Amino acid sequence: MARRGASPRSTGGGAGAAFEVALATGPALNLVPMQELTSFSAVSVTANFMDGDRCQFSVLGSSPEALLIDELATDVWVWGPIEQRFRIVNVSQQWGTDGEDVVNVQAVSYKRLLASRHIWTADGMTFAQVDQGDIVWQLIQHTQAQTAGNWGVTKGFTTTGVRRDRSYVYGDNIGKLCDNLQEVIDGLWWDIDIDLKVQAAMPDSFARHAQPLQLGVNARTLERQSSASQFANAVFVDGNEDTMPVTAVTADIATDIATIREALTWIPDGYDQVELGEERPLRLATTGALDRVEARNRELTEALEQCPCLHDIASVECGKAGIPADQWCARCALLGETCQ
């Protein structure tokens, strides 16, 4: 069905721009739609490369099309900026004082619909060196094999060339599992298209075209936010009492026009000195860092006040000489062999 409806225009694109879109509905188990919508309004189609698509529109409550709309049992076919098939998931109807009768419809693509499906076998599912696209397909096969679970989805092209080992347990959300395969290194792109075929590929296999943004041409508004408050070119990372603090600065700090901006953070228990300084890249965050450092300083101050080692607090020199090791305070233990 390629024919355009009687009122198939909706605002989209740049300022003042519009695009054509045609809608049709039919029972969810149909291969093709039954009724083209000719009186819809307020249509919105949202295409998302990784998360799946959404569609919203309104029809007159007194129209023949409204009688064919049923939540969870009716599909919407969309032709326009994208071609996609959606399942209607939410319908609301409003009546006004002047006789208005409007039905508002929300629908999601089958990719998003997977968020309502789970692994339904006590033994879970295990994959050993299976292409990640085929893992997605087999998860969809599993949910379609359940009673009343068949959507009519079939396999398209699902080979990505990346094989994975995965083990899933009873109750795991299938939509989330498929999303996770997109988010890992060398993760895939996948979708369920308008013909209800599962398609998968590597994201970098798609052609990319540079598209400059121009205000008033292909962009309605533009916004730029500052991130200067989070910038740091010198960092101090504190650990627990078994680790030594680590400092690091960027190589070009001497010529950086921002001069020195320091960040403080505290890494909790669980990292030894080798992991912190050599094996594990520093993960630095400034959110709440100053509060944590101040709390740490208070702890050390309280320890010093109760310490039998007689510290010279002004110079923070260790006073453990002659004190049994089991009586060393946290500061002395932290200094360790460097203490003179």
> Could you tell me if residue 337 is inside a domain?
no
Strand partners, 216: none
| Of 321, 288, 327, 289, the residue nearest 306 (C-alpha) | 327
> Could you tell me if residue 235 is inside a domain?
yes
H-helix or E-strand spanning residue 330: helix 330-335
Is 72 in a helix, a strand, or coil?
A: coil
CB atoms within 10 A of CB 24: 21
Q: Do 62 and 23 share a structural domain?
A: yes
pLDDT single digits (tens) 233-270: 888 887 666 777 888 888 888 888 888 888 887 765 44
Distance CA 157, CA 159 (A): 6
What is the reported pTM? 0.60
Q: Do 195 and 128 share a structural domain?
A: yes
> Could you tell me if residue 328 is inside a domain?
no
Distance CA 40, CA 54 (A): 16
Q: Do 129 and 104 share a structural domain?
A: no
Q: Do 18 and 68 share a structural domain?
A: yes
pLDDT at 268: 58
Can you give the pLDDT of all 340 residues of the chain as single tens digits? 333 333 333 434 333 445 688 999 999 999 999 988 888 888 989 888 888 999 999 999 988 888 889 999 999 999 988 899 999 999 999 999 988 899 999 999 999 999 999 999 999 999 999 999 999 999 999 999 999 999 999 999 999 999 999 999 999 999 999 999 999 999 999 999 999 999 999 998 888 788 888 898 888 899 988 888 888 888 888 766 677 788 888 888 888 888 888 888 776 544 444 444 444 444 444 444 555 556 656 665 665 555 555 554 444 455 555 556 565 555 555 544 444 4
Domain that holds residue 122: 117-204
Q: Do 122 and 105 share a structural domain?
A: no
Q: Do 102 and 32 share a structural domain?
A: yes
CATH number of the domain within which 143 lies:
3.55.50
pLDDT single digits (tens) 199-213: 999 998 888 788 888
CB-based contacts of 174, cutoff 8 Å, min separation 6? 114, 117, 118, 119, 139, 140, 142, 143
Please state at what angle helix 132-144 crosses helix 174-183, rounded to 10 degrees: 170
> Could you tell me if residue 340 is inside a domain?
no
Q: Do 125 and 89 share a structural domain?
A: no
Is 278 in a helix, a strand, or coil?
A: helix
Domain count, the chain: 3
